[in-house]
Amino acid sequence: MALNYIDEIAARIEATLDPEQRPDDDAWALYRLYALLVLVKGVDVSLEDVHDAWSVWMATINPKHDALVPFSSLDPAKRSEDGPYAQAIAAVARVLNSQSFDGTGAR
């Protein structure tokens, strides 16, 4: 099955993450939000951006999650948990920028 450009980026993000860092839940919607961050923030993605995207996803699957608060309200250890995702998003953005990604699979 051919992936659309959003799902192609989402798949790249998932593949970039260490398997132990991938969410246990069905996270395809989360990876799509992270794909949006690749497109709009690219290598400038922040931990707060990642947390906000995660919060949108979490609000649909567990609206009472204890980390579903503004980034500034999280303790430093909890904030750092967004690091691997920000790194994966930035890494995918760097690759796509270097490949002149056009969203069709063509380079």
Tell me if 74 is assigned to some domain: yes
Q: Cα separations (Å) of 8 from 53, 66, 92, 104?
A: 18, 31, 11, 9
Q: How many domains does the chain have?
A: 1
Tell me if 60 is assigned to some domain: yes
Residue with tokens 């430093």: 76
How far is it between the farthest Cα atoms of the chain?
43
The structure's pTM equals: 0.88
Tell me if 79 is assigned to some domain: yes
Tell me if 105 is assigned to some domain: no
Tell me if 103 is assigned to some domain: no
DSSP string, 42-100: GGG--HHHHHHHHHHHHHHH-TT-TT-S-GGGS-HHHHHTTHHHHHHHHHHHHHHHHTT
What's the pLDDT score for residue 107?
37
> pLDDT confidence of 106, banded at 50, 70, 90?
very low
What is the residue range of 46's domain? Answer: 5-98
pLDDT in tens, 14-41: 999 999 888 877 899 999 999 999 999 9
Cα(46)–Cα(44) distance, rounded to whole angstroms? 6
pLDDT in tens, 68-91: 999 999 999 999 999 999 999 999
Tell me if 83 is assigned to some domain: yes
